[in-house]
Amino acid sequence: MLIKKPADIRPSEITSKRNYLNRREFIRAGAIAGGSILAASAVPATAVGAVVPEARRAALTDVSSSPFSTDEAPNSYEDITTYNNYYEFGTGKADPFENAQDFEPRPWTITVDGHAERTGAFDFDDFIKPFDLEERIYRMRCVEAWSMVIPWVGFPLAEVVKYFKPTSKAKYVAFETLNDRARMPGQRRRSLEWPYRESLTIAEATNPLTILAVGLYGEVLPNQNGAPIRLVVPWKYGFKGIKGIVRMRFTERRPRTSWNMSQPREYGFYANVNPNVDHPRWSQARERRIGSGLFASKQQTLMFNGYGDQVADLYKGLDLRRNF
């Protein structure tokens, strides 16, 4: 599919692949490695930790590279930020870009509750402060037959889970998006039951590939991509990547999730990329990379989106046709 450039984006605002890669090498060279998980109140002044400026398109600093990144070339900034699924801002692919420009993602509060030792309501800056930022270039697959390669910036969800210390009763991590009809016009329609909900098993949440993203292309996460914080699970279809997170809850029972609630025949809880299980309305066997052009050949869809070596063990003994 051809992506039409919005009229209000100047070419000078779109990062070229070469400039981005050069800048990424600079960031890598200057990054300070870190990995300890510290309480926000105990982080020393000299520690790095995640710092996310409030200004739009502000550069993120102290970002280390990740060994989990693909060596595939990322899609352009334009591709990634103008072709989105974010029903809170509309059901069309261009709606989030067009309707989220006036959205103010700060200040922001994230509530953590459920079966965990550390719970409460946390200001966004305090929530992210104990963690170190990494850049991870991931293949991403939508439930429809299209895909992208996106250079996310975030931190492992496993570190977040460890920090909040879930109890033995916690079997799942559930997430909710902001529910604000005044600021999110798509919520004025009944396209889904609001707020948007998603969930992972604890094993999925603590897999090293799963991250909470706060940026892309080395910059603050744009509104249309889920600012200020969203989930990224690269072996699953895109609808698992909940955006605008305001709540994280540790539960014993499997939580209800938005698309499974809306259309259970079409959208299962697990949502693993599986080319052998067709969506009722289209094949999942092949995909087209966004930005490649309307007449570009589709490529074969890979099981678990190509991340099988890292995640297949999570589903041993599970019938992936029934548990889709």
pLDDT tens figures, 174-220: 999 999 999 999 999 999 999 999 999 999 999 999 999 999 999 99
Sign of CA dihedral 31, 32, 35, 39: negative
Rg (CA), the chain: 19
9: pLDDT confidence band, cut at 50, 70 and 90? Answer: very low
**C-alpha to C-alpha distance for 237 and 304, rounded to whole angstroms:** 9
Mean pLDDT of all residues in 237-261: 98
- CATH architecture assignment, domain 11-39+56-315: Alpha-Beta Complex (3.90)
Identify the band that residue 231 occupies on the pLDDT scale cut at 50, 70 and 90.
very high
pLDDT at 205: 98
What are the boundaries of each domain within the chain?
11-39+56-315
User: CA 130 to CA 39: how far, in whole Å?
Assistant: 6
Which region among 29-38, 114-123, 145-154, 310-319 has the lowest average model confidence (pLDDT)?
29-38
Query: What global pTM score does this model have?
Result: 0.86
Residue 274, Cα to own-chain centre: how many angstroms?
A: 19
pLDDT digits (tens, 9 = 90+) for 110-155: 999 999 999 999 999 999 999 999 999 999 999 999 999 999 999 9
**What average pLDDT does this structure show over 166-178?**
98
Distance CA 163, CA 171 (A): 16
Q: Please give the average per-residue pLDDT across 277-300, as a whole number.
A: 90
| Percentage of residues in the chain having pLDDT higher than 70 | 85
Laid out side by side, the sheet with 120-123 consists of: 120-123, 109-114, 245-251, 172-177, 197-201
- The predicted model gives 53-73 an average pLDDT of 97
Answer whether residue 254 shows pLDDT above 60: yes
User: Which range (26-30, 282-286, 295-299) has the least confidence?
Assistant: 26-30
Q: If you average pLDDT over residues 88-109, what whole number do you get? A: 97
In b/e form, how buried is each residue of 17-40, taking b as 16+ CB within 10 angstroms? eeebeeebeebeeebeeeeebeeb
